[in-house]
Amino acid sequence: MIQSASVNAELRAQLFDVAAHPQTCGDGLAMVFGDMEVRVQIFSIMSSTTAAAQPRELFRMTRSLDRLDQVEKIALRDIAFRQASGETVDEAEVRLAYRVGLQARLELPGQPRNMWFRAIAKVSEADLQAAYNEIIDREATPEFFQSMIAREFWMSYLEIRYAPEFEPVKQPFNQRLVALDELPPDQRSDQQYLEQIGLISRQREQAINEFAITLSRQIAQAVNMTAQ
């Protein structure tokens, strides 16, 4: 981590920002270091992986981040349920227990393998298995792929890596914008012009997102075939 940060100013600034987040105990600090490790792994993939392997490796990384987000949501849901029942809950320990318990089977990035106060968390193996099943089942849903393309670095990567493939998707909308600009002023009002720009832009974004999801599904299939 230190070596990677020493040679890249942007990564170094990101790590300083993460490190500035206040924590109160050793297990809390473990989550901070986990977040820092995630940043380093993304940097490593983008800077050292071959062009052919990069889509699959970056997809794995993006998927693992989505899984980490889902683990966090499940942990927070568990915490909220317990608190609603009147139980006193150590939130940091519960959150970390889910991360530690699922890091191997879900390939969660940058997570510690052990924790100091596991008994305090009261997270059972049945809780972990239920969380695992929920997360894996979600990856067959449209919601999962929507969340993938919502990640800016993944969407940006797709648009750069597959720019020639995106061009036919974008071109009809670009042509419509050009045609709109070429209309004489007496054939459209300013309000109509703005409304048409808004409509074309929304339709363009939807088409781009749908194509990005198609690409993401194809890459997911390649990743799953490699894992078999």
Residues assigned a catalytic role: 25
Q: How far is 211 from 218, CA to CA, in rounded Å?
A: 11
Structure tokens of 165? 């493939």
Distances (CA, A) of 131 to 51, 144, 200: 34, 15, 41
Burial of 71 (0-12, 13-18, 19+ CB in 10 A): buried
